[in-house]
Structures are given as C-alpha cells and as structure tokens.
A and B are shown apart, each in its own frame.
Chain A
Amino acid sequence: MNNTVDTLIPQVGVITDVRIDTPDIKTFRVVTPDGKKAFDHKPGQCAMLSIPGVGEAMFSITSSPTNTEYMEFSIKKCGCVTEWLHQAEVGQQITIRGPYGKPFPVDDAFAGQNMLFIAGGVGLAPLRSVINYCRHYRDRYGSIDIVYGSRSKDDLLDYQEIIDEWSKDAGVNVHLTIDREQEGWDGHVGFVPNYVKELGFDTNKTAVLCGPPIMIKFTLEGLIDLGFNKEQIYTTLELRMKCGVGKCGRCNVGAKYVCKDGPVFRCDELGELPDEY
C-alpha cells in the first residue's frame, strides 16, 4: 500500500442540484458525500470531473471561492462526459479532483482596478467566479462593467442571477446582447466585439475576456482599437487535458502548459506564445 497522496486519484462528489440554464448548458452543484466543499479554490481555477467508465474532463469552477458551502460547474453539452452529466440527476455521485491552474490575480493586479468583464456564450462560466468574488469584496475594486452576449436570450447563462443580483448592485453595469432580433427582447442586438466598440469603454480598466476563440480574437482587436494595452487584458484558455498538472503533455502552447501555467493568461504573455490554441 502506498500512503502518499496522488493528485490523479480523485475524491467522490455528489451532485446536489441541477439548474437548467439554456437548451445546452446546465449548472451542477457539487459537494462531498458528507456535504462539504471538496476543496478551496481561487477564481479562474479548474477541476477535473469524471464519471468512472465514461471519462474525465477539466471544467472551470464557476462558483466563487467566497461560497464556502459548495462548488458549481456550468457545463455545455458537447462531448461524451458532458452528455452523460446532462443526464445525471440530483444524488448522482461523480469524482472530483483539483484545484488546477493559475487563478486570476484578484488580490494582486486586479486590486483597486476598474473591472471590465467580457464574455460570450458559455465563456461566462469561468468569469462568474471572479465576477462574484469582486462583488463580494466590492470595496476592493472600482467600477465593474459586464458585457455578455449569446446567440439568443435563451442561451444567456446565469440570466436570472444577472437580472436579480448583478444588475442591481451599485457600481455594477451589465450590458447584455444577443446575436439576432428575438421576440420579447428589447435589449441590444449584435455581436459582442462590436458591442464593446459601441460602448466605447474608457481605458482606465482591467479587462477580462472569455468566449469562443473567434470572439476573443475580435474583442481583443476592438479593445486595442479603443486604446487598451495588452497588459490590461486577461483571458482564460481551454485545451484538452488529462492530468491537470503539466505531465501528460497535451495542453501545451509553446513551452507553457495551460493546465498549470494557465488557464489564465495576460494577453501580452499570450502574444509571446505560438499561435496554437
């Protein structure tokens, strides 16, 4: 018997709540069998979830570390593991290990800054953790702007929380947009990168981006056009992973491993890496 701890050996987690967010995204609440949070994490970090016999995959932890009771994962149905999870009911056990990766620098570079969060589709999942962290420690940050877009109103993740909580906070401005006109939607219509340019943000902000690669690319260009420096912009990447600790060899971009050197990268650092993500 080997008594050492090995990060590859997971613990058991229980799904205690399943929230249907959109037609293809559900948010799962997970605790240990004795009802506790599986481990502490920082905003932007990830966890490996698995269903034995089906597979294991990396997901960003969408709940904020300030939530001490449970962890949440917003998961889009798009592959083996996620399809299985989408059929899971409350009470289902899974396995969980982590936390993995470098978090957003919420207590360092972000401290005292005006924050601009920009997300597309399920890209809001990793940002929700840091948004709620900043809301929790509201006095540590300046203004908070959130630009969030999706294909349609029905595809907006965390919609109820955005309407009921985020948009009611003092000093928090929420800017929602959907790709095409839709009945019952009187908000903005258009793609996120264009909306960001239309809103024309002042450059006295730290921007955090997450979404489909194409959205990130054009939004980044838009921010640069507005006068932002790459040093002011952060994003979070996702590549295929097996170990989560820089050993299985598949999530590297150049000499960096997304699992341990990322997933959070500052855009100037990212710019130094080869274009292979």
Chain B
Amino acid sequence: MRKIVLEKIDLLFEAISNTMSLYLPVDQNDGKAAYTKWEEGKKWSEALNTVKSPKDFFFPQTEDMMEFKVEGKNIEVIDTRKASEDFVVFGVRACDVKAFDILDKVFLVDPCDSYYATKREHGIIVAVACNKPSETCFCSAFGIDAADPKADVSAWKTENELYLQANTEKGEKLLKALENVTEEATEEKVTEQKEQIAKIMKKLPLADLDTSKFGGGKTDEFFNSPEWEELSESCLGCGTCTFVCPTCQCYDIKDFNTGNGVIRYRCWDSCMYSDFTRMAHGNNRNSQKERFRQRFMHKLVYYPENNEGIFGCVGCGRCVSRCPISMNIVKVMKNLGGKENE
C-alpha cells in the first residue's frame, strides 16, 4: 500500500498527467462536479459524486463509428476507428466501478463491441471509497461496499492522506510509476476508515432496501402488476434517469450527412422515449406505462435473468436526486416488492 499527503496531491496528478490523460471530478461553475481532464490548477472535487456517471469514458454520449463516401451509385465504407491510448479515471465511486462490470457484460460478450473494448482496455480506474455516503445512496442493497471499491487501484481519503492499493496488473504498473511521489504505508488508517464508513452505511435511510423479491424468472410476477399504472402516471418520458444512469446502455445509430460524406455515429438513447421502439408498422410499447415498466423490469428482472442474477442497478442514487417528478427505482422496488419493503 502507498500513500501521499493530500497537500501534495497535485504532485500525484502531475506525475500521472506527464505520461497520460488524467480525468477526475472537478467542480464546475454551477457548483456541480463533472469528470474533467486534469491540468494545473484543477482541484479534485469534494462532492460525493458527479452528475453524469463516468460511463462516458467507455461508452460516450455520442461517438463517431465510421464514414461513408457516396459518389453516384457507389459507396465506400471508411473504418475511422482509432487506437486508444492509456488514460486514468481517478476518483470513481464503488457504485460506478460496479456499473462498468454491468456494461462489460453487454458490450464485451460475443460479438465484442470494439469501440467499447478498446477504451476499456486502455482505461485505468482509480476508485475512491466514499467517506460521506448520502441519503440517496443504496449501493449496499446491491452488495456493493462503498468502503472498499475494487478497481485497478483502490483509494481511501483520510483527513490528511490518500492511501492507494493496486488490485490489477494495470493498477500495479500505475502505482509503480508513481513511487517517486508516494510513500510506503500501513493499512491501519484504511481499516479505521472502512469501519467508519460501514457505520454510516448502516444508518442510511435506504440501507434496508430489499432486493430479494426481484431477479431473473420473475417476469410473470411483476409484468402485469397493477402498480405500474400509478407509478408511471406522472412520468414525463424525459429520459433524465437513463442519461445519468451509470448502467443504462441503450443506444441509437444515426447518420449525419456532412455534405461531403456521411458520418455514422452512435449516441445514447432512452427506452423512456416514445419513438424508441416505433416501427413503420406500429409500436410495441405505445404508452409511457409500457416504457416505464420496460426500464425497471430490465434492471430488476431481465438483466439478472441474462447475467447470473446480477441486477442492472448499482444504487448510485442519481435517478433519485435528478428525476423531475421524484420517481425512481427505490419507489418502484418499494411498491412492487410487497409490504416488507414499505
């Protein structure tokens, strides 16, 4: 285990930046944190988490995929994929780290999505334990330990120091390169920190959220629940939940005519949108109720059914704090999960 005093944290950032791009949460002009490329003067945000999740690093909101040259009746396909370079994403929370695993199970299974895979291969994640989990947090319901995030490097921020522990080959390589700015450390303070966080986690209002009612094979049990009607009644279909969600992975593929050729790009899409499934001959999810149900059934039933019981939610709480009508997965679970969850 290595450590660095927080006063000198810029030395750590500088050392990383000397060899590769470093991204970390930085407070923006609106006071909210967003992942930003580090340069001298940028301060690591104190915020618990960023408004948008770090899924952008591997699955960007928009991403050019290929180009076409069109001349008369002829078409040329141009593979515009570029090799990725190593980069570090620093300060990722345990929930968002787990979300990468969930996205991996979609994008890396055969046939592997090369756009995602290249970036994933070159991204080095430094996860940081959450000293002050908030009342919208419920990662523990999905078996995530906010005190012990497992990424390439795990980090703990104490009052005066940052402790770093490598977990993977990529992480070891990174810490090795940072030996000049860090020093050898014992686990004492980290253990203390973990215990403190565990105490806070137990007191959180959503700490007892029960997931046991949900999982694969429960489609029949929940699909026709009368509760969907009321739960979805106020849903605006704005898609905010899907955009801030670290695990939502639905995308659209679109063409942009530059006047000089065509760029085919991928962008985030949302199952909450009315045209998401619309076809020339009709729409199999015509109402907002059906679209709303799809989103939650996917996270709580369909995804676990296809992925060894793993839920498609990490309890980051972004949808809890961002939904304009205050509807979210917690309310859905409490309403559908029966009396025990109320």
Contact surface of A with B, Cβ cutoff 8 Å? 1-2, 4-12, 50, 52-56, 78-79, 82, 89, 91-95, 212, 238-240, 242-243, 245-255, 273-274, 276-277
Contact = CB atoms under 8 A, between A and B. Distances in A.
A16 to B, nearest CB: 12
Give 4 nearest A-B pairs by CB, closest first. A249-B250, A79-B280, A52-B68, A2-B81
A55 B279 CA distance: 13
Given A93-B74, A248-B269, A6 B114 contact: yes
A245 B269 CA distance: 16
A242 B271 CA distance: 13
Interface string B272-285: 00001111110011
Contact of B255 (A12, A55, A92): A55
A249 B251 contact: yes
Nearest to B222: A274
A243 B115 CA distance: 13
Interface in B251-274: 251-253, 255, 257, 262, 264, 269, 271
B263 to A, nearest CB: 9
A146 B306 CA distance: 37
B128 to A, nearest CB: 30
B75 A93 contact: yes
Residue from A56, A79, A255 having most chain B Cβ neighbours under 10 A: A255
Contacts of B294: 252, 276
Nearest to B256: A53
Contacts of B106: 246-247
17 contacts: A2-B83, A4-B112, A6-B81, A9-B65, A53-B255, A55-B255, A239-B279, A240-B277, A247-B107, A247-B249, A250-B250, A254-B219, A255-B301, A273-B219, A274-B224, A276-B294, A277-B284
A95 B68 contact: yes
B288 to A, nearest CB: 14
Given A53-B70, A56-B253, A248-B253, A11 B77 contact: yes
A242 B81 contact: no
Contacts of B82: 1-2
B76 interface: yes
Nearest to B106: A247
Interface in B109-148: 111-115, 117-118
A242 B73 contact: no
B253 A255 contact: no
Contacts of A78: 280-281
Contact of A248 (B111, B219, B251, B280): B251
A84 to B, nearest CB: 12
A265 to B, nearest CB: 14
A242 B113 contact: no
Interface of B is mostly: mixed
Contact of B279 (A5, A93, A240, A249): A240
A27 B82 CA distance: 38
A2 B78 CA distance: 12
Nearest to A97: B77
Given A242-B252, A242-B253, A52 B285 contact: no
Contacts, number: 128
Given A53-B262, A79-B279, A245 B111 contact: yes
Nearest to A242: B253
Given A52-B70, A93-B73, A255-B219, A249 B249 contact: yes
Given A1-B83, A53-B257, A250-B276, A94 B75 contact: yes
B6 interface: no
A212 B280 CA distance: 13
B68 A255 contact: no
A5 to B, nearest CB: 8
A10 B68 CA distance: 10
B189 to A, nearest CB: 42
Contacts of B298: 249, 252
Contacts of A242: 251-253, 269
B281 A239 contact: no
A93 B72 CA distance: 9
B305 interface: yes
Given A78-B280, A276-B285, 20 more contacts: A2-B83, A2-B114, A2-B118, A6-B114, A8-B253, A9-B77, A50-B255, A52-B75, A55-B255, A93-B73, A95-B68, A238-B279, A240-B278, A243-B251, A247-B113, A250-B276, A251-B277, A252-B294, A252-B298, A253-B284
B2 to A, nearest CB: 34
A56 B66 CA distance: 14
A53 B68 contact: yes
A12 B76 contact: yes
B337 interface: no
B163 interface: no
B237 interface: no
A225 to B, nearest CB: 25
Contacts of A6: 81, 111, 113-115
Contact of B81 (A1, A10, A246, A247): A1
Contacts of A92: 73
Residue from B114, B115, B118 having most chain A Cβ neighbours under 10 A: B114
Nearest to A15: B73
A54 B76 CA distance: 15
B239 to A, nearest CB: 13
